[in-house]
Amino acid sequence: MLLAVVLASALFLCSSASQGCLTYTGIKNIVYLIDNLQKDTSSNCSCSTDAADCLCLPISSGNCSTACFQEGLSQLSNSTVSTRFRLTVNQVKRIVITLKSNKCGSFACEQPCNQTTTGNMLTFLKTLLESFQNENMRGKV
């Protein structure tokens, strides 16, 4: 009987951990994207000037930025610039959805994207990376 309880507890803990608020893979993927997109001039363009050749993505300055991240990642995965990075962008997109559905920290909010500004791809990814890192630190406390 004791063995059954121990096994059941171990299975529960393993399944809980896989459904948790893990951000390590997301951080790794975002760092990969930032490292590779820094070389691309269209990733560093200015959204404050004529943005005809610039992919300007929504950046929320509030605590609830999940919807903006989802919107920006969708735009990024549909852009021609990210064709070679589409798989990685889609992985990050799935991680954001998982964090939201698991109600993880700042990703748990349900508000629409109250975009206060736009940023180029690098600015957007750095903002997303910061949110992932904050969630990662929150999970370690």
Average pLDDT of the residues of the chain: 81
* Residue 9 forms part of a structural domain: no
* CATH number of the domain residue 99 falls in: 1.20.1250
Condensed to tens digits (0 to 9), the pLDDT of residues 60-84 reads: 877 788 999 999 999 998 887 667 8
Contacting residues for 122 by C-beta, under 8 A, at least 6 apart = 34, 37, 38, 43, 44
* Residue 6 forms part of a structural domain: no
Q: Which of 19-28, 97-106, 122-131 has the lowest mean pLDDT?
A: 19-28
The H or E element that residue 26 is part of is helix 24-37
8 A C-beta contact, residue 61 and residue 117: yes
* Residue 69 forms part of a structural domain: yes
Per-residue buried b or exposed e for 55-70, using 16+ beta carbons within 10 Å of the residue's own CB: bbbbbbeeebbbbbbb
Q: What is the rounded CA–CA span in Å between residue 48 and residue 67?
A: 22
Domain hosting 53: range is: 22-140
* Residue 17 forms part of a structural domain: no
Query: What pLDDT is recorded for position 3?
Result: 38
Domain count, the chain: 1
